[in-house]
Amino acid sequence: MWTDAFLQQARGVGDPLGDETIRTVFDRGDASALHTFMGQLVANDEMPANLPPEIAAFLAATSTLPPWSDPAKIQMAERLFLEHGLVSMMALVFASLPECYVMKHGVKILALTRQLGEHTNRRVHQTASMVLGVMNAGGLSPTGRGIRQTQKVRLIHATIRYQMLKRAAAAPASAAPMSVTDVVAGQGISWDLNDDGWPINQEDLAYTLLTFSYVIPMAMRRLGVTLTDEEFEAFLHAWNVTGHILGVRADLMAHTVEDATALFDAIKARQAGASAGAAMLTNAMLDLVNEKLLRLPILHPLGPIAMRVLVGDTTAAMLGLNERDTWAVVLMHRLIASIIKAIDAVAIAFGGFFRPFRWLAPWLGQRIIVLLCDITARNGQPQPDVPPGWLTSRTR
Provide block-wise average pLDDT over 10 residues at a time, the chain (396 residues).
94 94 85 72 67 89 95 96 92 95 86 54 78 92 88 88 66 42 52 81 96 96 90 97 97 97 97 92 92 91 94 96 93 91 75 70 89 80 77 55
Within 10 angstroms of residue 142's Cβ, the number of other Cβ atoms is 9
The pTM of the full predicted model, rounded to 2 decimals, is 0.89
In angstroms, the CA 169 to CA 343 distance is: 53
pLDDT the model gives residue 9: 94
**Cβ contacts of 381 within 8 Å, gap of 6 or more:** 42, 43, 44, 45
Per-residue pLDDT reduced to its tens digit, 302-326: 999 999 999 999 999 999 999 999 9
In angstroms, the CA 330 to CA 311 distance is: 15
Alpha helices by DSSP H, 102-174: 107-112, 119-135, 145-162
Burial of 32 per CB tally in 10 Å (0-12, 13-18, 19+): exposed
In angstroms, the CA 240 to CA 212 distance is: 10
pLDDT the model gives residue 174: 43
pLDDT the model gives residue 173: 44
User: Residue 65: left (phi > 0), alpha (psi -120 to 50), or beta?
Assistant: beta
Q: Considering all CA atoms of the chain, what is the largest pairwise distance in Å, rounded to the nearest integer?
A: 65
pLDDT the model gives residue 349: 65
Angle, nearest 10°, between helix axes 215-222 and 71-91?
A: 60
The residues with which 392 forms a beta bridge, in sequence order, are none
Within 10 angstroms of residue 229's Cβ, the number of other Cβ atoms is 11
Burial of 35 per CB tally in 10 Å (0-12, 13-18, 19+): middle
The end-to-end CA distance of the chain, in Å, is 39
**Contact (CB, 8 A) for 391 and 372:** no
Output the CA torsion 124→129→135→136 (10° steps).
140
Determine the 3-state secondary structure of 166 from DSSP.
helix
**Cβ contacts of 156 within 8 Å, gap of 6 or more:** 38, 180
330 residue type, one letter: V
pLDDT the model gives residue 91: 94
Burial of 145 per CB tally in 10 Å (0-12, 13-18, 19+): buried
